[in-house]
Chains A and B, each alone.
Chain A
Amino acid sequence: MSARIFRRNATMWSGGLLLAALLVGGSALAGEAPPVRLDSTADHSKYKELQQEFASGPELTKVCLSCHTEAARQVHRTKHWTWDFLNPENQQRLGKKNVVNNFCISVPSNYAFCTSCHVGYGWKDASFDFSAEENVDCLVCHDTTGSYRKLPGLAGHPPYKDVEIPPGSGKIAKAVDLSRIAQKIGKTSRDTCGACHFFGGGGDGVKHGDMDSSLASPDKEVDVHMDATGLDFTCGTCHKTASHDVPGSRYTPVGKDKGGAHMRGKEDKSNPATCQACHGLSPHKDAGMAAKLNHHTDKIACQTCHIPAIARGGVATKMSWDWSTAGRLTPDGKPMIKKDDKGRVIYDSKKGDFTLGENVVPEYAWFNGKVSYTLLGDKIENTEGVTHINKLGGSAKDGESLIWPMKVFRGAQPFDAVNKTLVTPHTAGNDDTAYWKNFGWEKAIETGMKVAGADFSGKVGFIKTDMSWPITHMVAPKEKALGCNECHTRGGRLDRIEGVYIPGRDGNSLVNLIGWIVAGATLAAVALHGLVRIVRRPR
């Protein structure tokens, strides 16, 4: 440890000396050579093409594409653009525009709002032109200023002039300065990815539990890799992207990476974002426990021990969402909001009841990477029980599974009580049917289902649903990884995991019974024998 600190200090010192030398050298050569930028071969502020005012995003994108000729068509191939994905394993049609979840439920009929997280401009309805190159939004991923933002309701556009959002709220969103952002364009960062991915489900930390705004600049305790003053990984460090296609998918995740660490020169098409892709299959190196810990890697996902809890950065994650209580209004007919003692919203007339959690201990399940969804047309078999929005495959026996930590998000949401299917309500919008304005489910669902092209009987009920989110971010420093005692006990974290023998949790009750009878009988016999000896002792 001390050696490592020394080495880090040494690096800092040598860095400092280098900097000093550069400064001295630089001043000696003043006027001859300006300092060179080392983070990129291009300084976009020097491009004449970017030194102009842009009226809109697409106008700017055309300029970007004049040099980056292939970029837009690369983006066009990705899920970030299409929001459409055919799962090759089970032929399910997934992607953001197709799936139904138990957070904000679904995208169709709410495009102008949801597409504030689309990497494009103008997707307000089905008429959006997916082949238009200028519709690609370069800035949302490549902004380095932190000043770029897209607002719900603008169909993926940023505000080009100061606007009041939501209308009537008095909150003014400033127009973005496209020219300035373009001149400072750069690599993706935790901030750019996080602008959408930290806020999934309608707010900070709502959806994932292992991703929220605390990861913009986390300390080591929250995430050992993204530690802003340490390793300082960006998302792209693990989600190593080529051709704009970001690897690491929630639709087809890797349950058990058997491939080991990636090596230069060796062709490897496997997901580079797994733990094993860097750490290999025998990651524990310290003497003593290393061998035993490495033995665990054939059954236990790295994340299970190394992410002891989720939502550790001070941002609560939603744990449940009950849409069935939405729509309660104040006596004068106004929507209301209730907060808990920490000021977090726990009831909203638009959305219903929530529960939230920080430092949440995950649930655990075998997972082999196979995910099947309950999609819009799928028949719901048991309307009394819990419908799984996504069902994760896996078992102790299939050889493809590891025990993974999960955030299991539970809720109740509207469904078609006659057709027994999930529904896609029209929630957001300033019109006569949007639920968040009118608080009527029938109309909202009718509109939503029409846009989605699905049948709706007109009769609304509510079903219980759950959705599992395998946990993989917020890896703690190794000192904070789970110890043996968390699982090797009855009532421990893996208490309900089937198919493995866990010492400390398991045992054969018959052997235990007979064993204790034998030991107990021996003890009783010698005690009795001794007692008789004492009593009968000749005096």
Chain B
Amino acid sequence: MERIYIFTRFERFWHWTQALLVIGMLLTGFEIHGTYHLLGFAKAHQIHGIAAWALIILWVFAIFWHFVTGEWRQYIPTMKNVDVVLRHYAWGIFRGEPHPFKVTRRQKHNPLQAQAYLMVKVLINPLLWISGLLYLYYNELATLGHHFDLASIALAHTIGAFLMLAFFIAHVYLITTGETVGAHLKAMLTGWERSDEKSAR
């Protein structure tokens, strides 16, 4: 066993800022949706709007970073070994078996994980972003002659929010499935993951 530096400083900054913003947006978003009363609509709406722009800016940087560093390759989907990972979560994990996937710098995420993140990036995020920007600017678009129905925009945005919430729940749980309960969390905080470099090669 040795330690491997898999999450660079930018990645960790990106991840945790994004985590904070997403949690904030879920909390305020469902308040705007009328699910509960916590801050009041006005405050929730204000925070949601600020967080949206912060997240967009963060994402512009993250996308740039992904392409410059070539890290986007981490998310190329593959079905290879998905069955092995699935078997582990459904069976092996309860028997104390080690995770079949070994983290390397080239492949930070197991194939199931990579697919899940890809879905967030190409499905949930764009759905939230596009519907969210339409939500913000449908009046301006209407004056330009493009009429969108606010109810439909809100519907798409709500669907995106529920998907994000489901992802968030699963994600928070799955980080406890590392070698120890706190191993993945620690890696995301420090950048260092324990790994067996030899077997990974």
Whether the pair B42, A515 counts as a contact (CB closer than 8 A) is no
Most buried by B among A289, A490, A507: A507
Q: Which residues of A contact B158 (CB under 8 A)?
A: 507-508, 511-512, 515
The docked-state distance in angstroms from the alpha carbon of A512 to that of B45 is 20
Number of interface residues, chain A, beta carbon within 8 A: 35
The docked-state distance in angstroms from the alpha carbon of A422 to that of B152 is 46
Minimum C-beta distance from A282 to chain B (A): 11
The docked-state distance in angstroms from the alpha carbon of A354 to that of B34 is 38
CB of B47 within 8 A of chain A? no
Q: Which residues of A contact B33 (CB under 8 A)?
A: 503-504, 507
Chain A residue at smallest Cβ distance from B165: A519
Whether the pair B34, A522 counts as a contact (CB closer than 8 A) is no
B34, B42, B174, B177: which contacts A505 (Cβ < 8 A)?
Answer: B34
Interface string of B32-45 (1 = CB under 8 A from A): 11100100111001
CB of B59 within 8 A of chain A? no
Minimum C-beta distance from A306 to chain B (A): 16
- Interface pick from B3-11, B15-23, B88-96, B107-115: B88-96
CB of B60 within 8 A of chain A? no
How many pairs of A and B residues are in contact by the CB < 8 Å rule? 87
Whether the pair A485, B154 counts as a contact (CB closer than 8 A) is no
CB of A530 within 8 A of chain B? yes
| CB contact list, A287-323 vs B, under 8 A | 289, 295, 298
Whether the pair B42, A484 counts as a contact (CB closer than 8 A) is yes
The majority secondary structure among interface residues of chain A is helix
Q: Which residues of A contact B46 (CB under 8 A)?
A: 289
The docked-state distance in angstroms from the alpha carbon of A289 to that of B93 is 51
The docked-state distance in angstroms from the alpha carbon of A504 to that of B28 is 11
B34, B95, B170: which contacts A507 (Cβ < 8 A)?
Answer: B34
Whether the pair B41, A504 counts as a contact (CB closer than 8 A) is yes
- Interface pick from A11-19, A204-212, A327-335, A531-539: A531-539
The docked-state distance in angstroms from the alpha carbon of A536 to that of B93 is 9
The majority secondary structure among interface residues of chain B is helix
Q: Which residues of B contact A289 (CB under 8 A)?
A: 46
CB of B190 within 8 A of chain A? no
Q: Which residues of B contact A503 (CB under 8 A)?
A: 32-34, 41, 154
The docked-state distance in angstroms from the alpha carbon of A403 to that of B151 is 18
Most buried by B among A295, A504, A511, A516: A504
The docked-state distance in angstroms from the alpha carbon of A530 to that of B169 is 13
Whether the pair B139, A488 counts as a contact (CB closer than 8 A) is no
Top 8 A-B pairs, shortest CB-CB distance: A515-B162, A526-B173, A484-B42, A501-B151, A488-B41, A538-B96, A295-B139, A501-B150
Give the A-binding residues of B (Cβ under 8 A).
32-34, 37, 40-42, 45-46, 89, 93-96, 139, 142, 149-151, 154-155, 158-159, 161-163, 165-166, 169-170, 173-174, 176-177
Given A485-B42, A488-B41, A529-B173, 20 additional A-B pairs, CB 8 A: A298-B139, A485-B41, A489-B34, A489-B37, A489-B41, A490-B34, A503-B32, A503-B33, A504-B34, A506-B154, A507-B34, A515-B158, A515-B159, A518-B162, A518-B163, A523-B169, A526-B170, A526-B174, A530-B176, A533-B177
23 contacts between A and B (CB under 8 A): A484-B42, A485-B40, A485-B41, A488-B32, A489-B41, A500-B150, A501-B149, A501-B154, A503-B41, A504-B32, A504-B34, A504-B41, A506-B34, A507-B154, A515-B165, A518-B162, A519-B162, A519-B165, A519-B169, A525-B170, A530-B173, A533-B93, A538-B95
